[in-house]
Chain A
Amino acid sequence: MSAGSELIPSRHDEHGRRRKYLGTAFAIVAGLATVVGVIALIVLIVDVAIDGLPRVTLEFLNSFASRFPERAGVKAALAGSVWILGLTTVISFPISIGAAIYLEEYAAGNWVTRVIQTNIANLAGVPSIVYGILGLALFVRALQLDRTILSGALTLSLVVMPVIIIGAQEAIRAVPSTIREAAFGLGATRWQVVRHQVLPMAMPGILTGTILALSRAVGETAPLIMVGAVGFIAFTPEGPMDQFTVLPLQIYSWISRPQEEFRELAAAGIIVLLLLLLTMNATAILVRNRYQSRG
């Protein structure tokens, strides 16, 4: 922005008006950017709901896949997704939080830490299919875990851990250092500071990062195909060593069929996937609010 070069009395008014316009224009642009996202979401949901909502019934949730669209359901896929998600959470959450606490509270600021830090940032950007190939070689073949829920959950844990670690580190870093200093000043050990001061304060942020990462995981298809999620399965898993399928794969399988009815089923499957996501997010927000109200 160029300020007027002539020294005339109205210069400041002129300048102020331009600044004001510019500010308004920016607010409009930013508002439009938000609206684009919201509109895209609404169009997606309405489009999917028109096709799929009539198909989302209790029977749909409680039936296995079928070649007859009216008999087909998502039971196996939904159970598979919940299993994968649960195991992925149980595996990735403690490890990621541990890594984040170590890096932020314990690690010395030397080159080793910086190398690890850079690596984690890079890993967060690696395409998930690459983790799928790693999972196939490491978990399925080398560790002989076979094409099971456990292999799938371990692979997805690799996908989400860098994202959770980075989010948790940000949250821990946001805890004011004065609080740590005050606690140390009162004679608390590092463990006590982390346990009673830092973690409770950072927990809402950590949970937000975790929710985002797990929301990504629940939509993943590529790495799970690599480690052996199947297309048709007419039983629900009884343990982590069972075979499985997941919702995105079931949706993909339906959408590529020639018959129109299967595309409606795919839409119904998408609604179930969205509901699963919403349930996850709602649970996490509830948990987060508990921390915040106590903090």
Chain B
Amino acid sequence: MTFRGSFMCTAIIVTLALAACGGEAGDAGASNSSALSGRVEIDGSSTVFPVAEAVAEEFQVANPGARVTVGFSGSGGGFKRFCAGEIDIANASRPIKGSEAEACAAAGVEFTELSVAWDGLSVITNPANEFASCLTTGELRRIWEPNSAVTTWRDVRSEWPAEEIRLYGPGTDSGTFDYFTEVINGESGASRPDFQASEDDNILVQGVAGDRFALGYFGYAYYAENASRLKLLSVDSGNGCVAPADDTIEDGSYAPLSRPLFVYVKHAALARPEVRGYVDFMLEHALELVPSTGYHALSAEQYAEGGRLIAAAGAR
């Protein structure tokens, strides 16, 4: 019976593994009777993810019985699930598109859009680049538009060196790419294709930091963490050169590259106290939670306005 003995041994190991895991799960079930319980399901943009994570973390501390999950399928992926009715809240780094809103309407999903934070898209070069310090939105467009004729820095401005301009930007699935192409090239998704693309902004940081004649764009938080290895360019949209910084992003003068980050809330889900509680918690605490994630908070008044929108939607 050697075979049976060994089989038992295998079975016991598997059972033990599962049991060990079940034991670990036990302490998560403890719940406070006055606090909220139930599921809140969130998915969407990976850019907004740190904000949602911060809110979920604190909400979970205040309501140990609640089960909040946050995914990062991307803005588009999040809306797909949101309009299929699978999730309660969708995070997005761009406003909902017409086609997505139609899908929501067709499925009977009503929602409220809330802004939760500001992000400043930063245009970056290598610190060894001494000639460029400010680009106009027109120049950015000439560089990044489809069929762009720009191949060297001299093509951008005649006094700049005739060195090849090497471009780095987020991949086509990201909301950052959609936003940048929309405000710079005039059409979401329209971009020259010959640039180094990565969904991971840290790769873009590495690329620009190691390439003397590089030009790239990505979220301000990634510049702020790597400021010593990168050079931040100002952007001139007709009112002089403005560099992204806490104040210029928050007051909107760093235009057009400051963008709001959104949260979309399903009305039907607001009827559930845990979802309503989560959204209220987010708006109440955003002012102190958002800065810890590397993004910029809106004004207290704007969050209060969001609260009124939710109250109105929830009362229906």
The reply on B311 being an interface residue by CB < 8 A is no
Please indicate the chain A residues that have their CB under 8 angstroms from the CB of B225 in the complex: 258-260
- Which secondary structure characterizes the binding site on chain B? helix
> A199, B3: Cβ atoms under 8 Å?
yes
Bound-state CA distance A229–B41 (Å) is: 12
User: When A258-B219, A290-B6 are in contact, do A238 and B70 touch as well, CB less than 8 Å?
Assistant: no
A207-265 residues with Cβ-Cβ distance < 8 A to B are 225, 228-238, 243, 253, 255-260, 263
The reply on A79 being an interface residue by CB < 8 A is yes
Please indicate the chain B residues that have their CB under 8 angstroms from the CB of A236 in the complex: 21, 24-25, 28
Bound-state CA distance A39–B41 (Å) is: 44
Question: What total of chain B residues lie within 8 Å of the partner, measured CB to CB?
Answer: 49
The reply on A128 being an interface residue by CB < 8 A is no
> A75, B24: Cβ atoms under 8 Å?
yes
The reply on A169 being an interface residue by CB < 8 A is no
- B201 in complex: contacting residue of A68, A196, A225, A258, CB < 8 Å: A258
- B72 in complex: contacting residue of A89, A231, A233, CB < 8 Å: A231
The reply on B98 being an interface residue by CB < 8 A is no
The reply on A287 being an interface residue by CB < 8 A is yes
Interface string of A252-288 (1 = CB under 8 A from B): 0101111110010000000000000000000100010
Bound-state CA distance A230–B86 (Å) is: 13
Interface string of B1-37 (1 = CB under 8 A from A): 0110010011001100110111011101100000000
> B13, A283: Cβ atoms under 8 Å?
yes
> A258, B202: Cβ atoms under 8 Å?
yes
> B3, A200: Cβ atoms under 8 Å?
yes
Bound-state CA distance A233–B70 (Å) is: 7
> A258, B25: Cβ atoms under 8 Å?
no
Residues of B within 8 A of A (CB): 2-3, 6, 9-10, 13-14, 17-18, 20-22, 24-26, 28-29, 41, 43, 46, 49-50, 52-54, 56-57, 60, 67-73, 86, 199-202, 219, 221-222, 224-226, 292-294
